[in-house]
Amino acid sequence: MSGKLTVVGTGPGNPDQTTPEATAAIAAAHVFFGYGPYLDRLTLRPDQRRVASDNREELARAKDALHTAASGEQVCVVSGGDPGVFAMAAAICEAIEAGPPAWRAVDLAIVPGVTAMLAVAARAGAPLGHDFCAISLSDNLKPWTVIEARLRAVASAGLVIALYNPISKARPWQLGTAFAILREVLPWTTPVIFGRAAGRPDEAMTIVTLAEADATKADMATCVIIGSPETRIIEREGLPPLIYSPRGVKA
């Protein structure tokens, strides 16, 4: 007997930004796996059980969830944002590929959500209005040399950059080094957005130039968006500025 495994993205953290599809998937499940703070956002019924784990235990969590689903349970793995963007969907796939044949037979569904960079962009204007990329700054699972090469490549090519996992206690220097690399490639006037907890009560949006960008202003809940050379700032009297990347690139 095989149960069901649904990997759900709850969005940036504001319940109004959780899709009805995600809400329905949560209501239908009985066992919940996830990083504690993401599980804390759910309001569960007495018949629903939660299994919280640390945010660095993604693969172990994925295996536990697959094992439980394969035993016949209705399982939900909870991600913030979108589960396919630096979140649990890839860990689940890795576990399936390396796991027993029964895990491939599990009824698997992935429910998309609003990922952090979209929520941050919406609060700032339209910084992702043209070609852009999303790069994780965590060097836990990839060499820093790869990250550095990617930053140079995408900035040189004119893409706007959204940085996920910019900084943590265990990774204190990477964001500052990333800004230093980008200052070698991009105009120092390029707008940089520190978007913290977009859409939540503790939201904080800070706009600076690349010259001013200070890595210590970011934390784990921050998505950092770095403009392209085309990205512009519109000042507005009595209102926050709008940051946007025009739809076109001049010849």
Q: Which of 167, 150, 161 is nearest to 214 (CA)?
A: 167
Please list, in sequence order, all residues whose beta carbon lies within 8 angstroms of the beta carbon of residue 143, skipping any fewer than 6 positions away.
none
Q: How far is the CB of 148 from its own copies (least distance, A)?
A: 11
Token pair belonging to 18: 């959780």
Token pair belonging to 143: 């060499």
Q: In the complex with its own copies, which residue's Cβ is closer, 31 or 85? A: 85
Q: Does residue 28 belong to the site contacting its own copies (CB under 8 A)?
A: no
* Residue 235 parent element (H or E): strand 232-236
Backbone angles phi, psi at 198, to 5 degrees: -55, 130
* Separation CA 24–CA 140 (nearest Å): 34
Site map (CB under 8 A) of its own copies, residues 105-144, x = contact: x--x-xxxxxx--xx-xxx-xxxxxxxxxxxx---xxxx-
Contacting its own copies within 81-100 (CB under 8 A): 82-86, 89-94, 96-97
Q: In the complex with its own copies, which residue's Cβ is closer, 11 or 80? A: 11
- Size of the chain, expressed as the number of residues it contains: 251
Q: How far is the CB of 131 from its own copies (least distance, A)?
A: 5
Q: In the complex with its own copies, which residue's Cβ is closer, 68 or 138? A: 138
Q: In the complex with its own copies, which residue's Cβ is closer, 135 or 218? A: 135
Region near its own copies per CB under 8 A, out of 17-25, 43-51, 68-76, 201-209: 17-25
Q: Does residue 79 belong to the site contacting its own copies (CB under 8 A)?
A: no
Dihedral angle at the C-alpha atoms of 37, 38, 41, 44, nearest 10 degrees?
Answer: -110
Contacting its own copies within 149-178 (CB under 8 A): 149-150, 153-154, 156-159
